[in-house]
Amino acid sequence: MSDTGLFITVEGCEGVGKSTNISYLESLLSNQGVDVMVTREPGGTALGEDIRNTLLAVRGQRVNPLAELLLIFAARAQHLSEVVEPALASGRWVLCDRFTDATYAYQGGGRGLNTEVIAQLETMVQGERRPDRTILLDVDVSVGLTRARGRGELDRIEQETVHFFERVRETYRERAACEPERFSVIDAGQPLEQVQEVLMQLVQQLLAQSAAGTAL
Ligand code: Z5A
């Protein structure tokens, strides 16, 4: 077994089922004796949650996309140093609801910010740290939005157009295609039981690879 934990991120557009399936993954892993923690971005620390609230607040003023990007990386810097790195160093597995792939998808694909700028901030804030495995829950945008919007009031980003979310989804899919060894893409349009069957197989594979000390 590796002496550092695994860093697993879960990604996807609105309403794909990240929260639901992260809870499921957490219980699967705990039942297998893995010391696992769940966290999220933006957020995961007191400062990060304040930044999250600021980012998602609906205000009458347009938020400059670069300001949005910098706030997300500010929250990430705090999250990595205060939570993620210490947990991984102590051997815990970290399940993170969104990470930097979301930045490429939302701020890059959605807002149209230059990917090179995102990549520079990624290196500055994260150094070499990248997720060991990323689960991309993928579903037609209209299906995800219907699920998410069933919950009531929309935050600032949830109020974006369908075209915005189409660009987000496309960027996620392109990233997954470029890094097939890191990404596991799951059809989140299937009934939840089927999604979770796939997740169970994935967990078994991760546990076997981790125990064998082989590359993930
Ligand atoms: N953001 C960003 O812009 N840049 C960044 O770098 C980062 C984030 C890190 C907050 O994220 C916002 O931050 C997000 C992107 C931005 N923008 N927005 N909006 P978030 O992850 O906290 O918020 P979210 O995307 O709005 O998550 P969500 O809407 O809570 O969705 P979810 O967690 O993926 O879904 P869920 O709550 O688990 O499920 C939704 C419903 O669908 C629920 O009733 C489930 O029971 C149901 N469900 C789930 N799976 C299924 C299946 N398979 N079948 C049927 N029903 C299902």
- The DSSP code sequence of 88-102 is HHTT-EEEEE--HHH
Average pLDDT of the residues in 86-109: 98
In a domain, 94, yes or no: yes
Ligand 1: centre distance to CA 205 (Å): 25
Give me the CATH number covering residue 30: 3.40.50.300
Q: Which two tokens stand for residue 38?
A: 């769940």
List the residue whose alpha carbon is closest to atom 35 of ligand 1: 17
- Which of 9, 26, 38, 98 gets mutated to test ligand 1 (max ligand atoms within 8 A of its CB)? 98
Determine, yes or no, domain membership for 2: no
- Enclosing domain of residue 130: 7-210
From ligand 1's centre to the CA of 211, what distance in Å? 31
| 141 lies in some domain | yes
- Lowest-confidence region among 35-49, 107-121, 149-163: 149-163
| Residue 121 forms part of a structural domain | yes
Indicate if ligand 1 lies below 6 Å from the C-beta of 17: yes
When pLDDT is cut at 50, 70 and 90, the band that residue 215 belongs to is low
What is d(CA 56, CA 210) in angstroms, rounded to the nearest whole number?
A: 37
Give the position, in ligand 1's atom list, of the atom nearest the Cα of 21. 38
Q: Which two tokens stand for residue 125?
A: 């804030």
User: Is 154 within the bounds of a domain?
Assistant: yes
Instruction: Give me the number of domains the chain comprises.
Output: 1
* Residue 215: exposure state from Cβ atoms within 10 A (0-12, 13-18, ≥19): exposed
Instruction: Evaluate whether residue 146 is within a structural domain.
Output: yes
Specify if 44 maps to a domain: yes
- 116-160 pLDDT per residue, tens: 999 999 999 999 999 999 999 999 999 999 988 887 888 999 999
26 in any annotated domain: yes
